[in-house]
Amino acid sequence: MTGETLVSDSSKVTDKMLPDLPPPANSTGVIGWMRANLFSNITNTIMTLLAIYILYILVVPSVNWALLTADWIGDSRDACTSGGACWVFIYNRFDQFMYGFYPEAERWRIDLTFFLLVIQVAWLVIPKLPRKGLVSAFVLFVYPIIAYYLLYGGSFGLNLVETHKWGGLSLTLILAIVGIVAALPFGVLLALGRRSEMPIVKSFCVVYIEFWRGIPLITVLFMASVMLPLFVPEEVDFDKLLRAMIGIVLFQSAYMAEVVRGGLQAIPKGQYEAAQALGLNYWKMMGLVVLPQALKMMIPGIVNTFIALFKDTSLVLIIGLFDLLAIVQAGLSDPDWLGYSVEGYAFVALMFWMFCFSMSKYSQHLEKHFHTGHGSR
């Protein structure tokens, strides 16, 4: 039929391609996207509507409570009049939540310590900056000494600040960072031992790793606070923070060892053999050839264990240290501020979440970046 019309009406004959018709209006744009992703069939439509309803009853009151009808600034609970969240509680105690009972005049020392750390970590994280090896050596070996004298003081004209005054977010960060940095060398040694061909060394490392991985951190902290003083001569007096740190490092080194082992296993056998063929001995082979490659691949794993440890440091409240969660918990029992537990927990949750989420995104980014080998992704 069409052929006939074309022949009879020569004015409609054309040698050019007709332009494509636009796709049907209901398959493009916002409507098309919604049809494909939200309302593609009956089940999907029901699920979408249900989800919207659940979101509506969850999100709207929360936003109302936390932002729209909240009180932000004031001196006491009398400022909380509008019926929503009372952030005045956080606002008033913010310094304490950050620094614990660290004397106010000395708080610049904590600021400086973390400022230095941020600069160094930024240097390591930004890909373009040079001399990463030197900076990481500085972070691992020189910086801890500086940080110790800055925070604890007692010399160089700085006042001594006892560790029972430390607290808040800064204590949480200190515990997590010390835990991970001090556990790294032990972890490397344990992982090497576990892959060693010497039977006694190997079994020692396996037993050590599996023991610490099999027990909860709480029992480790209990052990560190109750049993550690029994293990040393009576004259030696451990302070509570140091005991917790020792417990955390013993515990964490086992987890670190497994991360390192994963990295070592990812190095192809050819690398070991090539290094041996060059006549390198064991430590040179490991130190110059295998570990530098393995460490790069381990970074995402290390970041992940760091996240786990960072969350786990909140357990130190059980042995009486005032980390971020503990200090907020203590603030909640202040008779002037009773009844604001939701605000307190929301604040702590937000702090932890920001740290953990950004670190986990960074580690995912690294995983993709390092994923240069085989596989379809």
Partner 1 sequence: MQSDAKKSQSASTHKTRFWHDPAKRALLFQGLLILGVFSVVGLIVQNTLQNLESRGITTGFDFLSQRAGFGIVQSLVEYTESSSYGQTFLVGLMNTILVSAMGIIAATIIGFIMGVARLSNNWLISKIASAYVEIFRNIPLLLQIFFWYFAVLRGLPSPRQSFEPLDNMYLNVRGLFMPEPIYGVGFGWVVLTFMAAVAGVFVLARWSKKRQDKTGQSFPVFWTSIALVIGLPLIVYWLMGSPLTWENPELRGFNFKGGMTIIPELAALWVALSIYTAAFIAEIVRSGIEAISKGQTEAAEALGLSSTKVLRLVVIPQSVRIIIPPLTSQYLNLIKNSSLATAIGYPDLVSVFAGTTLNQTGQAIEVIFMTMLVYLTLSLLVSSFMNWFNNRMALVER
CB 99 within 8 A of CB 113: no
The answer for residues whose C-beta is within 8 angstroms of residue 91's C-beta and 6 or more apart is 72, 73, 74
Closer to partner 1 at the Cβ: 165 or 311?
311
Closer to partner 1 at the Cβ: 48 or 96?
48
CB 257 within 8 A of CB 187: yes
Q: Pick the binder of partner 1 from 6, 31, 52, 129 (CB under 8 A).
A: 52
Closest CA to 76 of 87, 88, 67: 88
Closer to partner 1 at the Cβ: 19 or 214?
214
Q: Exposure string (b/e) for 285-304, b if CB count within 10 Å is 16 or more?
A: bbeebbbeebbebbbbbbbb
40 binds partner 1 (CB under 8 A): yes
Q: Pick the binder of partner 1 from 13, 17, 105, 200 (CB under 8 A).
A: 200
Backbone phi, then psi, for 205, in 5-degree steps? Answer: -65, -40
198 binds partner 1 (CB under 8 A): yes
Q: Pick the binder of partner 1 from 122, 227, 242, 338 (CB under 8 A).
A: 227
Relative orientation angle of helices 143-152 and 168-194, to the nearest 10 degrees: 150
Nearest approach, Cβ of residue 276 and partner 1 (Å): 7
Closer to partner 1 at the Cβ: 80 or 147?
80
Report how many residues bind partner 1 under the rule CB under 8 A: 55
Q: Pick the binder of partner 1 from 332, 362, 367, 370 (CB under 8 A).
A: 332
Distance CA 291, CA 295 (A): 6
CA 204 to chain centre: 30
Q: Pick the binder of partner 1 from 211, 268, 274, 283 (CB under 8 A).
A: 211
Scan residues 285-324 and list those touching partner 1 (CB under 8 A): 307, 311-312, 314-315, 317-318
Residue identified by tokens 């310094």 is 95
330 binds partner 1 (CB under 8 A): no
Q: Exposure string (b/e) for 41-80, b if CB count within 10 Å is 16 or more?
A: eeeeeeeeeeeeeeeeeeeeeeeebeeeebbeebeebebb
Residues that bind partner 1 (CB under 8 A): 37-38, 40, 44, 47-48, 51-52, 54-55, 197-201, 204, 211, 213-219, 222-223, 226-227, 229-234, 276, 307, 311-312, 314-315, 317-318, 325, 329, 332, 341-342, 345, 348-349, 352-353, 356-357, 360
